[in-house]
Structure formats: structure tokens, C-alpha cells
Amino acid sequence: MERKKIVVIENSVHVTGALKSITRTSYDLREYFDFVFIMPSHSVGVSYLKSKGFTAVYELPMRELSRRPFNMVLYVPFLLINAFRLRGIVQKEEAHLIHVNDLYNLLPVVLKFMGVRIPIICHVRFLPDSFPEKLFSFWVQTYLTHAKFLICVSDFLKNKLPINQKIKRIHNELPIEERLPPSVGNTNTILYLSNVIRGKGQEYAIEAFSNLVVSFPYWKLRFVGGDMGLLKNKEFKTELIALCQQKGIARQVEWTDYVDDVETEYKNATIALNFSESESFSLTCVEAQFYGCPLVATQSGGPSEIIIDGQSGFLVPKRDIKAMVLAMKKLMADDLLRTTFARNGREVVRERFSIVNTSYQLKQYYLEALS
């Protein structure tokens, strides 16, 4: 039987949750399909894909639509140029299906207008409020017209989209591997693993931690994540560092850029935090529980579908510093509770986000689209 070839289009310039997710899915399904990846030129994600064993990787000078006038002027010409190049790749690779890894990339739709008849599956990984309402609605309607399926990463996200039988929900997948033995860190380290972006909630972690240092003077707060090379993120990080100095906790706070080895980070930590304002899913919450790190996260969407409050972690209201402090204090003071959360978290995510419930569901939609 002929192996079907799937072209995956991914916009990530850096290693993002979206790239990690589609890489994990492709890794799980590599015995059933051949995968070809299309990435932006000079993306760090190219080396990430190759490190996971994917060698068929093409680079295109893709541009995202943004409010900057320069990018808006160049968007359409680059879209057309890349569509012609994509057509060449699809024909050369004799591809059978295109999986575009987020809603805002219209390359497969342009390809259809060029006469290339190939089925499309589109992932929706961002919440509608991440973009102007009319623009997001245009993307959704465009893919509802031209794609076989739209895949949402959570029920929270699906409920914000139109009711349509093409829209399906598949949660994101578990990490590809676990190298180190299970452990609950006793390093008195609170880990915040996230790129430094406004809305990810680092400032709330600093505020909450500053309320706990008197009772827990030997604990530290560790931030791990990059600024993605963007000036606005660099400025935000500068504000966060200034906030630590203002709160008098600068010596107890560590800053580290993006790391590949998140397993070591989680297993060297005692507690993990995610105080995001809005999450369509949350790979960091899945990773923390998969690797056995007790977790406190906000009720910001996706995390509520990952964490069982009071059993595998704590869920707190967004921007509620008092609730964050209380949840963190409970875990910091109770070794047994941390051990219980770590064990329960590992069990919950392995069952809820198993390969059968994630990657193999997508496999069925691939087969249906290909038929």
C-alpha cells in the first residue's frame, strides 16, 4: 500500500508550543505517513525538526500579517511568491495532503486558487481575542470553505468558534520522550517556563513570590524562556527585572533564556507556575504534569482541561494575587502534598492525553480527508 505524504506548513521562527505539538504528532504517526515540513527561512525550528529525525524540511521567506505598515505591504507579494514555491514542492514531493499548523497562514488556500487540488486540514491554536475579530472570522470562514477539517486544541477554544461539523477538538500531545527517572525536586525552586511575552503572567508570579519570601527565605523563583528576538518582549523583561528589584527579591530570582531540555528544568524544580491571561491549551501545563512537577495555574482556558483542581494541581483565578499566594504557600509548606500532586499529575495526563486520544485521532481525520 502506498504511503501517503503530508506537507506540514508551520510559521514558527522560534521553537513554540505549536511547533512542538505538530512535531510530536508527526513523530507519533511517522510509521503511517511520510512528512514534509515547510518552515520560515532561518527559523530555529528547522534544527529542532531535524533533531527529532525529520529531514524533509523546506524553507520559504514567509511573513506574518501584522499591523506594521512595512509587513502589511509585503504580505500579499510574499504570499503569492511562496504559493508558487509551495506548488513546486507539493508537485516534487508528490504530496497527498496539506496540514497548515495555524489559521492565519493562507498558503494552502492560495494554492487551491492556482488549481492545485489537494485536501487541507487546518489547526486552530490561538484564541479569537488574539487577533482583530473580523480578521479572525475571515480566516475561520475561509478554512471552513476550503479545508476538510479545522482542528481545535481544546473545548474552550472550540466553544468560541461557529458550530460546524468540520470543526473537531483534539487536545495536544504528550512529550516525545522521558529520559530521567521520576522525581519531585527538593531544590526549593519555583519554575516559570514560558517565553517572556505580555499576557504570560510573569509579573503575577513576581508579586506572589514577593509575599512569600519572608516565610520561605531559602526559596528561589526561576524564569526560563526567551524574548523571541522582539523589542517589545525585551522591554517587558526589563520591566520584570525592575519589578523584582522594587520588591527586594532580585537575589532570589533567576533568569535563563530558552532551553531545549525542559525535562531537566521540571525535574530540578519543586513547583511550576503558569499564570497566563489566556491559553487555548497549555503545553507547559501538560509538560509539568507529565514530568511530575506540582503545578499552580490560572483558570485561563486550556489549563482547566488539563489540571484536576486540588488533585493534580491548583487552579486559581486570573490576576488574583491572594489566591496565587495561598496555593503556592500550600505546596511550598507540604512535601506530601507535592508528592501527591506529582503522582496524580503524571497519571492524569498519561491517560487523558495518550496517543490514542490525541495523535491517533488526528490520524483518523487524515485518512478521512485522504479518502
pLDDT attached to residue 66: 55
What are the beta bridge partners of residue 167? 150
Asked if 208 and 272 sit in the same domain, the reply is yes
CA–CA gap between residue 30 and residue 26 (Å, rounded): 6
Please indicate, yes or no, if residue 183 is contained in any of the structural domains.
Answer: no
In the chain, how many domains are there? 2
Is the entire prediction scored with pTM above 0.85?
yes
Asked if 168 and 48 sit in the same domain, the reply is yes
Please indicate, yes or no, if residue 203 is contained in any of the structural domains.
Answer: yes
pLDDT attached to residue 22: 96
CATH number at residue 331: 3.40.50.2000
pLDDT attached to residue 347: 95
pLDDT attached to residue 183: 72
* Sign of CA pseudo-dihedral 174, 175, 179, 184: negative
Q: Supply the range of the domain harboring residue 306.
A: 189-352
Please indicate, yes or no, if residue 52 is contained in any of the structural domains.
Answer: yes
Please indicate, yes or no, if residue 181 is contained in any of the structural domains.
Answer: no
Neighbour count for residue 300 (Cβ, 10 Å): 25
Which residues neighbour 320 within 8 Å (Cβ) at sequence distance 6 or greater? none
User: In sequence order, which ranges of the chain are alpha helices (DSSP H)?
Assistant: 17-28, 45-51, 69-93, 107-113, 133-146, 155-158, 202-210, 231-247, 262-268, 283-290, 321-333, 335-352, 359-370
CA–CA gap between residue 113 and residue 79 (Å, rounded): 13
Asked if 231 and 166 sit in the same domain, the reply is no
Asked if 304 and 245 sit in the same domain, the reply is yes
Asked if 227 and 156 sit in the same domain, the reply is no
Asked if 335 and 308 sit in the same domain, the reply is yes
Neighbour count for residue 371 (Cβ, 10 Å): 7
Asked if 139 and 203 sit in the same domain, the reply is no
Please indicate, yes or no, if residue 74 is contained in any of the structural domains.
Answer: yes
Asked if 31 and 148 sit in the same domain, the reply is yes
pLDDT attached to residue 72: 56
Based on its alpha-carbon atoms, the radius of gyration of the chain, rounded to whole angstroms, reads: 21
Please indicate, yes or no, if residue 107 is contained in any of the structural domains.
Answer: yes
C-alpha 258 chain-centroid distance? 14
Task: Using DSSP, state whether 331 is helix, strand or coil.
Answer: helix
pLDDT in tens, the chain (371 residues): 679 999 999 998 888 889 999 999 999 999 999 999 999 999 999 999 999 999 999 999 886 655 555 555 667 788 889 999 999 999 999 999 999 998 989 999 999 999 999 999 999 999 998 888 998 999 999 999 999 999 999 999 999 999 999 999 999 999 888 888 877 567 899 999 999 999 999 999 999 999 999 999 999 999 999 998 889 999 999 999 999 999 999 999 999 998 989 999 999 999 999 999 999 999 999 999 999 999 999 999 999 999 999 999 999 999 999 999 999 999 999 999 999 999 999 999 999 999 999 999 999 999 999 99
Please indicate, yes or no, if residue 78 is contained in any of the structural domains.
Answer: yes
CA–CA gap between residue 112 and residue 114 (Å, rounded): 5
pLDDT attached to residue 344: 96
Asked if 338 and 364 sit in the same domain, the reply is no
Please indicate, yes or no, if residue 343 is contained in any of the structural domains.
Answer: yes
pLDDT attached to residue 130: 83
Asked if 12 and 157 sit in the same domain, the reply is yes
User: What's the DSSP call for residue 301?
Assistant: B
